[in-house]
Amino acid sequence: MTVLLDVRDLSISFPNARPVQELSFTIEEGETLAIVGESGSGKSLTALALLRLLPRTAQMSAGRVRFAGRDLLALSEREFRKLRGRDLAMIFQEPMTALNPVLPIGAQVAEVLRLHLGLSRKAAARRAVEVLDLVRIPDPARRATAYPHQLSGGQRQRVMIAIAVAAHPSLLVADEPTTALDVTIQAQILDLLAQLRRDLSMALLLITHDLGVVAEWADRVIALYAGRKVEEARPEQLLGTPRHPYTQGLMAASPRQRVGYHYTDGPLIEIPGHIGSAAGEAGCPFAPRCGFTEPSCRTSMPPLLAREEGRLVACPVTAAREISHGHAVGL
Amino acid sequence: MSRSASGAPAPADTVRIRFQAAASRKVAPAHDPVDQARARPAWPIPRGGRARRTLTRNPAALTGLAFLCAILATACLAPVLYPDDPLGMVGRPLIWPGQDAEFPLGTDSLGRDVAAGLVHGARVSLLVGIAATVVGLALGLAVGAPAGYFGGWIDRVLVRLIEIFQAVPAFILLVVVVAIAQPSVTTITIAIGLVTWPTIARLVRAEFRAIREKEFVMAARSVGYGHLRIILREILPNALPPIIVTASVMVASAILMESALAFMGLGDPNVVSWGSMIGAGREHLRTAWYLTALPGVVIVFTVLALNLLGDGLNDALNPRIAAERRI
C-alpha cells in the first residue's frame, strides 16, 4: 500500500478561534479513514481544508499536504480547481440542498463528465445514465430528467455520490454523508460507498460522529477533540479498548455498549462539561473534563504516543496506567 | 463495542440490510425493455418543454402573450399595412374615428392618419422597449453578478458605481442624456438602458449574494467548476425568475419612458411613436380626446400584457412552483 494523502500539522484558524490544531494523518490508497468527533471538533473544516474550500475568513497552515505525489500547498488556485472533482471529490451532509435545484440530475452528472473527461454533450449524457446506474438509481435513463425536488433524500445522496465519483477520483471525502438520512437508507448509502471504493479503487475519508458507522465501514479511525487528534487506531481497538480518557468517556456514554441495556434502565453516563471548556487555554483541551489530569496536562498538549502497532494516543496518564494495571480504565 | 468488525467482513446484524439492498437492486427495472421503450428516448429533455407546458396552461400569461404577438405582428407588417409615411398629411384634420371609412381611427390636427401612427408607433415603442431592456440587463448582469458573487472589495467598488447612478433621479438623468446626445432612436434606447440598469444590478447582486451561500454552490466548487461556470450555470439559472419578471416590467417601463420623452418633445422627431402621438394630441384633449386616448389605451394594454407574461414566465421557469401548480 502506498500513501495517497499525507497531511502534516494542519492548523485552521479564524480571527478569534483555532478550530483545528496541528493535525497530522495519512490515507493509503483504497483505504477508508474515519474521522470522528462531536460538533465543533473541527472535522468538517478539515475536510473543507483538504479541498481548499474553507470560508474566506479562515486561515489554513500546514507543514505538508501531499496528495498522490503532488504538493497540494504549492498548487495555484487554477491548478487546484483541475484537481477537484477529478482526483479529489467531496460529498456533503445535506443532500437536500447540495444539488442545483433548477437542473435535471442527469445534466448535473453530465456536466462533471464534460468538464473533467472532455466528453461531448451526447457522450456525457449517455455516460451520466451509466453513472446513475452505478449508484443504483432505479430506471436511470428516465430518472436522469428528474429534478432534485422530485427525488427522495436517499436518491439525492446517490446523485451527489454519482457527481462526486463520475470522474473516478482517487480520494472521496464524505462529510457526514448519512447524517440527514434515516437509518435503513444510511446503511444502503454506506454500502454503496464501500462498494464504489472497491470497484473504483478509491480511498475514502469518512467524516462522522456515528461510532456505529465507524465500526462497520472504516479501516482506521481518528478521534478528534477540539481540533486535536486524541487517538488514532483501528476501529475495533478504539471501540473495544479505548485508551484516551475522551474516547473512554465516549464509549462509556454509549448505551449500545452494554448488552441488553435500555436507556430507561438507569441513568445514562455522560462526560461532564462541554467541548468549548478549554478554548484558548494551553495544554490538553480535554483537561477540564478529564478525571486523570496531571499538572503537565494543563501546561502543554500531551504528545501522541505510539502504544501498539498502528495506534497513537495523546494521553500520558492513561498510557502509564495501562502498563501498570494491564487493563483499560473505565469511567 | 460489542460488534467488533474491521469493515471488510459484514457483521451479522447488517447482513439483513445488505440483503435488502441487494434485493431492491434486482427489483429495480433498470433494463426492462418495455420501460425503456416507453421512456422518452431523447435525453436530456430540453428544459423549455416543461416550462412551455406550464406557460401554456396559464390563461393570463397566454392572453398577455397573444396580445404581444399581435402587437409584434402589427409592428412587423406596418410597411405593408401603411406603406406611406405615417407623418404625412393624408386627409382633413380632426376626423373622428368611424366618420370616414378611409381613416377608421380618424386623423389628428394635421390630418395624419391615427391608425397608421399607431401601427408605425408600435415599431418604435417595442424596439426601444426591448432594446433598452437588453442594454439594461447586460449592464445590470455585468455589474451585479460579480458584485454579488465575489463580494469583498469588488462588491464595494461596484455598489458605489450603482449608487452613483441611483443618486440621480432616473428621468432627469434620462432627459439630460437625451438632450445632450441629440434625440434619435439609438440614443434614446441607450439612454434608457443607462438609467434602468441599477435596478437589475441590485436585484442580481442580492440574488447572487443569497445563492452563493447555498450548499450546491459549494458542491459545484468541490467538483472543480470555475467562477464563470458557477456564475452562469449554477447561480444564474436560480436567479433568473425574479430577473425575468423584472425584465418584462422593464420593457413596459422603457416603453413608458420613451413615451414620456416623446410627450415632452424629446423623442426622435423623424419617427412616430405612441408617446409622441399623445404629446401631439394633448392640445386637443377636450375637443378630440381620442387623439390621446387611443395611443394611451395601446400603451396600457401593452404594458399589462408584458406584466402578465412576466408573471407567467416566473411560474413556468421555477420547477418547484411549476410542480405545485400541476398537482
Q: Return the CATH architecture of domain B60-326.
A: Orthogonal Bundle (1.10)
Q: By CA distance, what is A252's nearest residue in B?
A: B1
Q: Tell me the domain boundaries of chain B.
A: 60-326
- Indicate the residue type of B221: R
A-to-B residue pairs, Cβ atoms closer than 8 angstroms:
158
Describe the crossing of helices B185-212 and B170-180 by its angle, rounded to 10 degrees: 140
pLDDT score of B30 more than 80: no
pLDDT score of A292 more than 60: yes
Q: Does A255 touch chain B (CB under 8 A)?
A: no
Which chain A residues are Cβ-neighbours of B242 within 8 angstroms?
A: none
Option in B30, B39, B222 nearest A138 (CB): B30
- Reported as a single tens digit per residue, the pLDDT across B227-248 is 999 999 899 988 888 888 888 8
Q: Does A124 touch chain B (CB under 8 A)?
A: no
CA distance B84 to A282: 91
Please report the pLDDT score of residue A279 as a whole number. Answer: 61
- Reported as a single tens digit per residue, the pLDDT across A215-259 is 888 999 999 988 888 889 998 888 888 888 888 888 887 766 666
- Reported as a single tens digit per residue, the pLDDT across B288-325 is 888 999 999 999 999 899 988 888 887 776 655 555 55
Among B81, B122, B131, B138, smallest CA distance to B104 is for B81
pLDDT score of B36 more than 60: no
Please report the pLDDT score of residue B142 as a whole number. Answer: 95
Q: By CA distance, what is A84's nearest residue in B?
A: B224
The mean pLDDT value for A95-114 works out to: 90
What residues pair up with A33 in beta bridges, in sequence order? A205, A220
Please report the pLDDT score of residue A320 as a whole number. Answer: 63
Q: pTM here?
A: 0.76
Q: Does A185 touch chain B (CB under 8 A)?
A: no
Distance from CA of A175 to the nearest CA of B (A): 12
Option in B5, B17, B221 nearest A53 (CB): B221
Q: Does A33 touch chain B (CB under 8 A)?
A: no
Q: With helix as H, strand as E and coil as C, how does chain B read?
A: CCCCCCCCCCCHHHHHHHHHHHHHHHHCCCCCHHHHHHCCCCCCCCHHHHHHHHHHCCHHHHHHHHHHHHHHHHHHHHHHHCCCCCCCCCCCCCCCCCCECCECCCECCCCCEHHHHHHHHHHHHHHHHHHHHHHHHHHHHHHHHHHHHHCHHHHHHHHHHHHHHHHCCHHHHHHHHHHHCCCCHHHHHHHHHHHHHHHHHHHHHHHHHHHHCCHHHHHHHHCCCCHHHHHHHHHHHHHHHHHHHHHHHHHHHHHHHHHHHHHCCCCCCCCCCHHHHHHHHHHHCCCCCHHHHHHHHHHHHHHHHHHHHHHHHHHHHCHHHHHHHHC
**Cβ separation A211–B5 shorter than 8 A:** no
- Please check whether residue A203 is in contact with residue A29, taking contact to mean a CB–CB distance below 8 angstroms: yes
SS3 helix, strand, coil % of chain A, rounded to 5?
40, 20, 40
Q: By CA distance, what is A188's nearest residue in B?
A: B21
Please report the pLDDT score of residue A97 as a whole number. Answer: 85
Q: Does A281 touch chain B (CB under 8 A)?
A: no
**Cβ separation B222–A51 shorter than 8 A:** yes
- Please check whether residue B139 is in contact with residue B201, taking contact to mean a CB–CB distance below 8 angstroms: yes
pLDDT band at B164 (very low <50, low <70, confident <90, very high): very high
Burial of A263: CB neighbours in 10 Å, binned 0-12, 13-18, 19+: exposed
- Reported as a single tens digit per residue, the pLDDT across B79-135 is 888 888 888 877 777 778 878 778 888 888 888 888 889 999 999 889 999 999 999
Please report the pLDDT score of residue B18 as a whole number. Answer: 42
Set out the domains of chain A in order of their start, with CATH numbers: 3-224 (3.40.50.300), 241-325 (no CATH)
pLDDT band at A6 (very low <50, low <70, confident <90, very high): very high
- Please check whether residue A162 is in contact with residue A137, taking contact to mean a CB–CB distance below 8 angstroms: yes
Q: Is A284 in a helix, a strand, or coil?
A: coil
pLDDT score of A328 more than 80: no
User: What is the enclosing helix (H) or strand (E) of A224?
Assistant: strand A220-225
CB atoms within 10 A of CB B101: 6
- Reported as a single tens digit per residue, the pLDDT across A26-55 is 999 999 999 998 887 888 899 999 999 988
This model of the complex carries an ipTM of: 0.82
User: Which residues 61-120 of chain A have a CB within 8 Å of chain B?
Assistant: 81-86, 89-90, 92, 94, 97-104, 106-107, 110-112, 115-116
What sign for the dihedral angle of Cα A110, A115, A121, A126? negative
Query: ω into residue A303 within 30 of 0, thus cis?
Result: no
Q: By CA distance, what is A99's nearest residue in B?
A: B216
Which chain B residues are Cβ-neighbours of A51 within 8 angstroms?
A: 222
Of the listed ranges A59-68, A80-89, A106-115, A256-265, the one predicted with least confidence: A256-265
Among B235, B242, B208, B214, smallest CA distance to A103 is for B235
Interface test with B, best of A145, A149, A254 (most B CBs within 10 A): A145
pLDDT score of B20 more than 50: no
Q: Which residue has the cell 477537484?
A: A84
User: Which residues 190-249 of chain A have a CB within 8 Å of chain B?
Assistant: 191, 194, 211-212, 215-219, 234-236, 239-240
Please report the pLDDT score of residue B140 as a whole number. Answer: 95
- Reported as a single tens digit per residue, the pLDDT across A91-103 is 988 888 889 988 8
CA distance B107 to B90: 8
